Every structure is written in C-alpha cells, then in structure tokens.
Amino acid sequence: LITDVNIAVAAEAIQAIGNLAKGLRNHFSGNSRFLLP
C-alpha cells in the first residue's frame, strides 16, 4: 500500500512538473516573440 501511494504521488509530481515546465516554455517563447522583431 505504501509503495502504491508513493508511486501515485510521484506520478502526480512528475505531471505537475511537466505542466509547469510546459507553461514556462510557452511563457518564455511568447516573451522572445515580443522581444525579437
């Protein structure tokens, strides 16, 4: 049971980090689009 919970928490954390990285990447690409002509 403990390992199942840890795996679930790890999977959610990986998804959250992936979503955060994707959002930051979109944010920075949007900024560079504004900065670069």
Give the distance, in angstroms, between the CA of residue 35 and the centroid of all CA atoms in the same chain. Answer: 24
The predicted-structure confidence for 1-37, as pLDDT tens digits, reads as follows: 789 999 999 999 999 999 999 988 888 777 767 665 5
Q: Distances from the Cα of 33 to the Cαs of 5, 22, 24, 37, in angstroms?
A: 42, 16, 14, 7
Q: Give the separation between CA 14 and CA 12, rounded to whole angstroms.
A: 5
Q: What is the pLDDT of residue 34?
A: 66
Q: What is the pLDDT of residue 11?
A: 95
Q: What is the pLDDT of residue 7?
A: 93
Q: What is the pLDDT of residue 16?
A: 95
